[in-house]
Chains A and B, each alone.
Chain A
Amino acid sequence: MTLASETRTFRVSAAPHLSPGADPAMIRNFCIIAHIDHGKSTLADRMLGVTGVVDARNMRAQYLDRMDIERERGITIKAQNVRLPWRADDDRDYILHLIDTPGHVDFSYEVSRSLAACEGAVLLVDAAQGIEAQTLANLYLAIENDLTIIPVLNKIDLPAAQPEKVGAEIAAIIGCDPDDVLRVSGKTGQGVPELLNEIVRQIPAPVGDPDGPARAMIFDSVYDIYRGVITYVRVMDGTLTTRDRCLMMSTGASHETLEVGVISPDPHPTGSLSVGEVGYVIPGVKDVRQARVGDTITTSRRPATQMLGGYRDPLPMVYSGLYPIDGSEYPALREALDKLQLNDAALTYEPETSAALGFGFRCGFLGLLHLEIVRERLEREFNLTLISTAPNVVYRVVMEDRSELTVTNPSDWPGGKIAEVYEPIVQAMLLLPTDFVGAVMELCQGRRGVLGGMDYLSADRVELKYTLPLGEIIFDFFDSLKSRTRGYASLDYEPAGEQLADLVKVDILLQGEAVDAFSAIVHREKAYAYGVSMTSRLRELIPRQQFEVPIQAAIGSRIIARENIRAIRKDVLAKCYGGDITRKRKLLEKQKEGKKRMKTIGRVEVPQEAFIAALSTDAGKASPTGK
């Protein structure tokens, strides 16, 4: 044990690229912009191999994606970074910093911070599939940030690769010569050294004031149970060292600088980070909210006066109630959320009580994927079984007396006179083969979308721009899009303010009693469809009771849909199977067990499964086509 760590320390200090105080002229900071499945992680792994920071024996597939969920879904949620030593074809030794960016629209703020830490971006596109909306959105973001773009086709070893066609498409988008599009295979490693040389040649070296007060931008912040919060930073000016206390400029709080270092691919303490360098700072805090993504770190000895631009507080876009199926797990859920929040500055939650579901939490998320990831982590890492209520966006409600309130939960919908309701909208970008334009337009119009433009990327690929209410796309929009385009369409969106909308709250009543978990805020034109779909669905899901149970959908006191669960008339096992009493008793025990899992609403017993099924994502929608 001791011997191994000494050997390692020796090796670390011997490596020149890990010594402090690198010359900014010899540094290149870059990220890779790519769609899920286009091979970003494989290429990154290949770069680790080619530069020798990971030998083949220690190579784990997709080294940079750390969380289990990231590995399973093949996406990056938390940004990672790694320092790569590279002797370029000019025979000089460079330091490359690869910053791996999150790959989903929910985390676009994190993406923007990662891009701000780079001078260049590798635009990586699958040579068989072509560019996707997500990639395009991030590409535009990179171009706005004045990043140098190096276009690269990946998977050129695949039989289905169409490098000429896709290369021409990329060249048309970024305005370069098709011959300038590099070709690599992350799988075989072909073209990777050439790409690294191009990165050195094309991407500018970082520029900053080496002697000014230190300023470092946090582009990611993670919680480690042993070290507390670890921030990943890009130093813009000056030098951060462990000798100075660090100061978070957004909060004004100063902390002891426990450790400063670089990652290659394991953490190596260097004692300092200078202008242009990318690495980590451990500021001795316990909660990522004290060291948020986008914040500027300076030193309390010689503080900078001006924060780096672009910081903003993460704002939840989607809310949902999370409830433990077993009520006794409520304290465990609270504890788990507390722990998750240490590592997730965007997650918000507060206690909530539902007559139907019991005690739970109203949680705010960046988007639907964020919701799913949090829920999955709660279930997987903390062994909880949860119900989540239909996701809800944030509405601004103006009352007739001009007072205003923000509604993130149908239960908070005001009962009084409402003057106006504003809903959040997004600018959506959809990339799809031309064959599916009609189907996608129909889908978007059905979701109250307004077409903003249509551009042909090539003869058979088109980009559609739509303004859509966020509330219309958080349920199942992406699934519908995929099924209507046989998986060929891709989607990206960004918040685009709010619009006036004719929205109403639809309540679902069981025997005249509203079930809070099923209430939804929907557009007036869709209220009927929601009511019909929910009542007929519940009629199937709720078992017959001793008495008739009306299920109604209502806007205020006006009933818009009604179903009846007829009273049960027969519930008896007639036969006795030649004295097989045991079987009958076991059946009874099973029935009793099932009854224990029922929630009683008024006098109506509703099985847990009915809530889960009715609240599952594809159920909450107001589907005009019915079942």
Chain B
Amino acid sequence: MPQKPPDGAAPPDDGVLPAAALTELAERPFGVYIHVPYCAARCGYCDFNTYTAADLGGALVSSVGLTTFVDIAGAEIRLARRVLGEVGRPVSTIFLGGGTPTLLSPADLARLPRLIADEFGLAADAEVTTEANPESVDPAQLEQLRAAGYTRISFGMQSDRPHVLAALDCRHTPGRVSEVMRWARKAGFEQVSLDLIYGAPGESDADWLASLRAAVDLGPDHVSAYALTVEDGTKLARRVRRGELLEPDDDLLADRYVLADEVLGAAGLANYEVSNWARDPAARCQHNLGYWRGDNWWGFGPGAHSHVGGVRWWNVRHPAEYAARLGAGRSPAAAREELDPDTRRVERIMLGVRLAEGLAFDELDEPGRAAARDLARSGLVEPGGLESDVVRLTRRGRLLTDTVVRALLAD
């Protein structure tokens, strides 16, 4: 079972949002996330809300009942339009995540941005990203995606070492990534990102260095590198519990992070968020930045999370229930929370400090500012940033972000 969603209040059936939240819509960029909850096979470490054909009892992977996933998501898109009314600005980012979005047919993938654009409008310079499994793309499909308006593609490379890929249950071979990368460039994608995972069982420092070098050599515009975390309910967690695998050690993960920051930095990829590096500011993932900056977005699809003007909500997780709700004309939201001003400030600090652009000193109360100065003395916060009233983490500080956040929020 994937992660249990947080508790929250029951949302209304029609999904209507408080008027106060809607007034904030025009103030900040508006993004769209679409969760495609299907995978050809489940990876051992993954706790995302995703289902294989077997999980769904043999039903067609890209359909629920008689209607396709895109038709159902379309129903939620129309519901979003009813709830939000006039947003006041076009959608600035679309991000297809999963799951494996590229399991959908090219035609379906092409329809999704169009459905969004039809209801909300799409900014001329909009970033439209899809995640892709190197195993599930081909040149023709990439051409079609580019033609359908996708501007950015993010490949789940994870590692360059076969035994590490095997430990992670990834099905692609190392050479596959350079091939799909070439196809993506040929198809006209200007922004290509690679996802890497470090700390998998059996991975050595040398393996990680090799993966980083291989990634850098492919010339990506953007790299995300995540420490492997053992999430409850995954196959990996079961194997760790049985003692078959060792849980990744925090010190080792810290070493790998430092290695990543060194190698990526040397290759001209600058860190702009704890786990993200980009060739230049334009290559930063605008959609993900919206999460950290407290922008508004609507998450479509089973289990997707949304945020509008201080209201957060999340959809029911199972595709069948998601489809049933929308089929009955109801909002698929499972629960929501309306954040009070204090909680919103806590979130701004918690999220903002993760970014290289830093957290405005104004957000902190007096004890928080004192804590920031202390943290600068202990080498977790850049002293230079404080001089220009910004809390910016050092590399050590990035590794201890949670410690920093707790200190900044100390009361």
B200 to chain A, nearest CB (A): 14
The interface size bin for chain B is 35 or more
Question: Does B346 sit at the interface, judged by CB under 8 A?
Answer: yes
**Closest 3 pairs between A and B when the two form their complex, measured CB to CB:** A569-B254, A572-B401, A579-B305
Query: Are the C-beta atoms of A570 and B307 separated by less than 8 Å?
Result: no
Interface string of A558-591 (1 = CB under 8 A from B): 0000000010111111111111111111101001
A550 to chain B, nearest CB (A): 18
Q: Tally chain A residues at the interface, Cβ within 8 Å.
A: 25
- B residues 269-310 near A (Cβ < 8 Å) are 274-275, 288, 291, 297, 299, 304-307
List the interface of chain A (C-beta within 8 A of B): 546, 566, 568-586, 588, 591-592, 595
Query: Given the complex, which residues of B lie within 8 Å of A568, measured CB to CB?
Result: 250, 400, 403
List the interface of chain B (C-beta within 8 A of A): 3, 5-6, 8, 33, 35, 48, 97, 226-227, 229, 250-251, 253-254, 257, 274-275, 288, 291, 297, 299, 304-307, 312, 314, 337, 343, 346-347, 350-351, 378, 380, 396, 398-403, 405-406, 409
Classify the interface of chain B: helix, strand, loop or mixed: mixed
Report the Cα distance A586→B35, complex, angstroms: 23
Query: Are the C-beta atoms of A588 and B33 separated by less than 8 Å?
Result: no
Interchain CB contact (< 8 A) of A586 among B6, B251, B257, B291:
B6
Report the Cα distance A569→B5, complex, angstroms: 29
Query: Are the C-beta atoms of B346 and A569 separated by less than 8 Å?
Result: no
Report the Cα distance A591→B406, complex, angstroms: 8
Query: Are the C-beta atoms of A546 and B305 separated by less than 8 Å?
Result: no
Query: Given the complex, which residues of A lie within 8 Å of B378, measured CB to CB?
Result: 546
Query: Given the complex, which residues of B lie within 8 Å of A582, measured CB to CB?
Result: 6, 8, 305, 312, 314, 337
Query: Are the C-beta atoms of A570 and B250 separated by less than 8 Å?
Result: yes
Query: Given the complex, which residues of A lie within 8 Å of B257, measured CB to CB?
Result: 570
Query: Given the complex, which residues of A lie within 8 Å of B288, measured CB to CB?
Result: 576
Query: Are the C-beta atoms of B305 and A578 separated by less than 8 Å?
Result: yes
Query: Are the C-beta atoms of B347 and A546 separated by less than 8 Å?
Result: no
Query: Given the complex, which residues of A lie within 8 Å of B297, measured CB to CB?
Result: 579
Known A576-B291, A588-B346; 16 more pairs at CB < 8 Å = A568-B250, A568-B400, A569-B400, A572-B274, A575-B226, A575-B275, A579-B33, A580-B6, A580-B305, A582-B6, A582-B305, A582-B312, A583-B3, A583-B6, A584-B350, A588-B409
Query: Are the C-beta atoms of B227 and A574 separated by less than 8 Å?
Result: yes
Query: Given the complex, which residues of A lie within 8 Å of B3, measured CB to CB?
Result: 577, 583
Query: Are the C-beta atoms of B409 and A592 separated by less than 8 Å?
Result: yes
Query: Are the C-beta atoms of A588 and B229 separated by less than 8 Å?
Result: no
Query: Given the complex, which residues of A lie within 8 Å of B299, measured CB to CB?
Result: 578-579
* Given A578-B33, A581-B291, A585-B350, A595 contacting B399 (CB threshold 8 A): no
Residue of A nearest to B378 (CB): A546
Report the Cα distance A578→B2, complex, angstroms: 13
Report the Cα distance A529→B50, complex, angstroms: 52
Report the Cα distance A581→B299, complex, angstroms: 13
Query: Given the complex, which residues of B lie within 8 Å of A578, measured CB to CB?
Result: 33, 35, 48, 97, 299, 304-305
Report the Cα distance A579→B403, complex, angstroms: 21
Report the Cα distance A299→B322, complex, angstroms: 87
Query: Given the complex, which residues of B lie within 8 Å of A566, measured CB to CB?
Result: 251
* Given A546-B400, A569-B250, A574 contacting B274 (CB threshold 8 A): yes
B260 to chain A, nearest CB (A): 11
* Given A575-B229, A575-B275, A579-B307, A570 contacting B253 (CB threshold 8 A): yes
* Given A581-B312, A581-B347, A582-B337, A571 contacting B305 (CB threshold 8 A): no
B184 to chain A, nearest CB (A): 22
Query: Given the complex, which residues of A lie within 8 Å of B398, measured CB to CB?
Result: 572
A599 to chain B, nearest CB (A): 16
Residue from the set B5, B305, B314 with the largest chain A CB neighbour count within 10 Å? B305
Residue of B nearest to A596 (CB): B411
Query: Given the complex, which residues of B lie within 8 Å of A579, measured CB to CB?
Result: 33, 291, 297, 299, 304-307
Interchain CB contact (< 8 A) of B346 among A572, A573, A583, A585:
A585
Residue of B nearest to A595 (CB): B406
Query: Given the complex, which residues of B lie within 8 Å of A570, measured CB to CB?
Result: 227, 250-251, 253-254, 257, 399-400
